A = this chain, B = another copy of it.
Amino acid sequence: MFIESVKTPGIAHLSYVIGNEGKACVIDPQLDTDTYLSIAGKHNCRITHIVETHRNEDFISGALALSNRTQAPVYHGEHADETVQYASIARDNDSFEVGKWLLKVVATPGHTKDSISLACYDTNQSKTTPIGVFTGDTLFVNDVGRTDFYPDEKEHMASELYESLQKLIALGDQVIVYPAHGAGSVCGGGMADREFTTIGFEKQYNPLLSVQQKPEFIRQKVTEHHYISPYFSEMERANVTGVDSPVSDMVIQPLHEQRVPQWLAESDKPGLLIDVRAHAAFRDSHIPGSLNLPGDLLSAYGGWLLDYQQPIAIVAEDKESARASAKQLWRMGFCNLSGYLTDVPFPLTREQQHQHSIDTVTADVVEKRLSEFKEKDWVLLDVRKRDEVESMAFPGALHTYLGHLKQYKDKFSADTHYTCMCGSGKRATVAASYLKMLGCTHVDVFTGSLQAWEAHQ
């Protein structure tokens, strides 16, 4: 009688396999179907049910792919407008038996209209007192789901979420909460850096769950600010029809340095180089025109800055990290991968060197520039999130969220000198690489950014 969670790095997504007596149910699978087959198999269980807690907007659902491989049906909550084509409808109070587990659907609209939770009972002991609940994007550890996906219905959705949360609270203090995201997700801002909790604990400490009055709850939710990445709409489209990935995540082969210029130049479909090496290595030397997106930043900002049509090649320290990055892209639907390379050519002249590297500047230099420079000549570009800026503004900086650089690309001028900053210098390097791609020639990075500023004062 097991519950195992699978954490997908980058998007901090949590999917689950719950099983007993030879049967298993997978909740919110990613495209990596082998992972779920392997967990179920380890417990000698056959996957008999697949459930989606809602139509995911931040990754391609693996439900259809898993269903094709296992013949298990997919269940999905009800939605008046758009019916998920590969799923049966799971309505409030419907239930599934998975061995001695009983999973009961609790309709919990609010984050989306089709959101459901699954209360989970160990029928050896009780069919009325649940031991756990899979809350999807409705309730997280220390946060609740965002309710801004229907711009015209923000109040309504917040109201729905309030009612849904009351239903979860009513399940009892003893219930363990299994949410669909952990800290680091774009699906909620205040998640704790801890991935397990109970209804009893959240009731007391979750800032929004402890709001007693519905109007106050609605007021707080409608004034929240979240970003909506442009790739969300792509994911939503994909997750209505369903995707059984046409390519395997494993196939990424070396692409050799000599072939890169030709590859980049192919006129009808010029390629994009994504450099997933560490920020420091990128700043020291990179292929001109490449975009730095290391580690989790690839998942966090790839959906904002990349293009589904453009062929992509990866620059990585080694093949393992190239492969991991390819997998992140694959989960977001970017399948047009030409290969990877692990060597970066060096510049031959001082002029080229400028194109191959990005300078860093320290806090004292930024301080001096702020006191000396005037408008047009120099811009200190702060690419943090709005929430971060609101809680700690940086006087003198121009704020443009990193995710918005593509949208506002026409606003950047090739002649302006930009110093990019963020909280630590990491996103600033991504921003600097993007500005360079746009043709800005005078770009540097405020090393340490806000952390350095504070230490320097």
Q: Mark A35-51, 1 if CB is under 8 A from B, else 0.
A: 00100111011110000
Query: Which residues of B sit under 8 angstroms from A248, Cβ to Cβ?
Result: 69
Q: Mark A197-225, 1 if CB is under 8 A from B, else 0.
A: 11111011100000000000000000000
A427 within 8 A of B: no
Query: Which residues of B sit under 8 angstroms from A281, Cβ to Cβ?
Result: 277-278, 280-281, 284
Q: What separation, in Å, do the CA atoms of A42 and B284 have in the docked complex?
A: 26
Binds B, one of A54-62, A124-132, A229-237: A124-132
Binds B, one of A84-92, A264-272, A328-336, A359-367: A359-367
Known contacts A201-B131, A204-B129, A283-B284; is A44 also within 8 Å of B319 by CB? yes
The answer to whether B142 and A452 touch across the interface, beta carbons within 8 angstroms, is no
Q: Nearest B residue to A339 by beta-carbon distance?
A: B46
Query: Which residues of B sit under 8 angstroms from A279, Cβ to Cβ?
Result: 284
Nearest chain B CB to A234 CB, angstrom units: 25
Q: What separation, in Å, do the CA atoms of A362 and B61 have in the docked complex?
A: 48
A251 within 8 A of B: yes
Interface residues in A263-317 (C-beta closer than 8 Å to B): 277-285, 317
A186 within 8 A of B: no
A73 within 8 A of B: no
A30 within 8 A of B: no
Query: Which residues of B sit under 8 angstroms from A323, Cβ to Cβ?
Result: 41
A109 within 8 A of B: no
Q: What separation, in Å, do the CA atoms of A350 and B283 have in the docked complex?
A: 17
The answer to whether A346 and B173 touch across the interface, beta carbons within 8 angstroms, is no
**Of listed A125, A196, A205, A253, residue having the most chain B CB within 10 A:** A253
Nearest chain B CB to A384 CB, angstrom units: 17
Q: What separation, in Å, do the CA atoms of A357 and B353 have in the docked complex?
A: 16
A95 within 8 A of B: no
The answer to whether A125 and B192 touch across the interface, beta carbons within 8 angstroms, is yes
A8 within 8 A of B: no
Given A37-B250, A41-B319, 5 more A-B residue pairs with CB atoms under 8 Å apart are: A47-B253, A174-B204, A278-B317, A348-B363, A348-B456
Sample of 22 A–B contacts (CB below 8 Å): A1-B195, A3-B196, A22-B256, A45-B254, A47-B253, A126-B205, A129-B201, A131-B201, A173-B173, A174-B199, A176-B198, A277-B280, A280-B281, A281-B284, A285-B360, A346-B447, A350-B364, A350-B365, A352-B362, A353-B360, A353-B362, A353-B447
